[in-house]
Structure 1
Amino acid sequence: MTKITNLTEVKAVGKYLRISPTKARRVLDQIRGRNYKDTIMILEFMPYRCCNAILKIVKSAAANAEHNKNFNKKDLNTTACLAIQLVKIMKRFQPRAQGRAFPIHKPTCHISIYVGTES
């Protein structure tokens, strides 16, 4: 993670989400470095399924910043976004022809979002 001076950050984490980390990173790359209002607008209008979970985490981080550090929501920026792939993968099997089984791997991830303001 890049280190930025004179920055106060607050984070929120969503754990064990049933989202592929590569698909989550596609959305997180779009919101990284933007202010809170733009981030909310982008997430509401993007057509991906993971946007709902990421929107909840962004709103949680903003609420943490407002309640714990007395920040104003309009001054917040999304400073860092991470999607960490977990080793725990749900494994399922789909029946195929002639008695075979086809493995299906359902990945999970943790999503961390840091919001902050310049001091």
Structure 2
Amino acid sequence: MIKKRKRNPYTEGCALSKHIRMYTNKARKGIDQIRGRSYEETLMVLELMPYRACYPLFKLVYSAAANAIHNMGLNEASLIISKVEVNEGTTVKKLKPRARGRIYPIKRPTCHITIVLKDISVNEQYYKRSKYDILCFKNSGWINKNKYTDMTCHDIYSMGGLWDKK
């Protein structure tokens, strides 16, 4: 059983758009570019990307920000995109007449997009990192030798994890 994440209604604004006429995979191409970005940066990115899904996403992000500003009184400069998801909608089915009295089915898929904007000024100490914080991403190869001096990156080649077949 999947547990649903509880939203904080005082620091998050959301918008939902249903029955957008496109495949979910095509919408996910645009969504992967904006996940985790700030509101203003997202609007700039969506204006310049060449994907077809960018215009509905632009309208939806703008709507979610307007909901957050109007309903909760949040500041638009401190909004980030905390959650974006695309789900399949209903499929519009039509029949096209073909030769010799036959028919050909046409399936046009739809999708539902949900965007949640979060205010980071409430939890500023959680999102903002000082220069003395320790970053230790063991999976990506970052290892911190000294707590307050420098960080060294051991790349994949020196660990023997990647090699050529040449």
Using the size of structure 2 for normalisation, the TM-score is 0.63
Q: Which residue of 1 aligns with 2:71?
A: 68
Query: Is contact 2:75-2:119 (8 Å) kept?
Result: no
Q: In structure 2, what is the Cα distance between the partners aligned to 1:34 and 1:15?
A: 23
Q: Which residue of 1 aligns with 2:115?
A: 113
Question: What letter corresponds to residue 70 of structure 2 in structure 1?
Answer: H
Structure 2 gaps of 5+ residues are: 123-166
Q: Going by fraction, where is strand more abundant, 1 or 2?
A: 1
Question: What letter corresponds to residue 85 of structure 2 in structure 1?
Answer: L
Instruction: Report the identity percentage.
Output: 44
Q: Which runs of 4+ in 1 moved over 3 A?
A: 1-4, 93-102
2:94 to 70, 92, 95: 92
Render the CA deviation track for 1:49-95: whole Å, top value 9, x for unaligned: 22111111100000111111111111110111111102x21112345
Aligned length: 118
Using the size of structure 1 for normalisation, the TM-score is 0.85
Q: Which residue of 2 aligns with 1:13?
A: 16
Q: Which residue of 2 aligns with 1:51?
A: 54
Render the CA deviation track for 1:19-52: whole Å, top value 9, x for unaligned: 2111111111110000011100111111122211
RMSD of equivalent CA atoms:
2.5
Q: In structure 1, what is the Cα distance between the partners aligned to 2:49 and 2:99?
A: 38
Q: Going by fraction, where is helix more abundant, 1 or 2?
A: 1
Structure 1 gaps of 5+ residues are: none
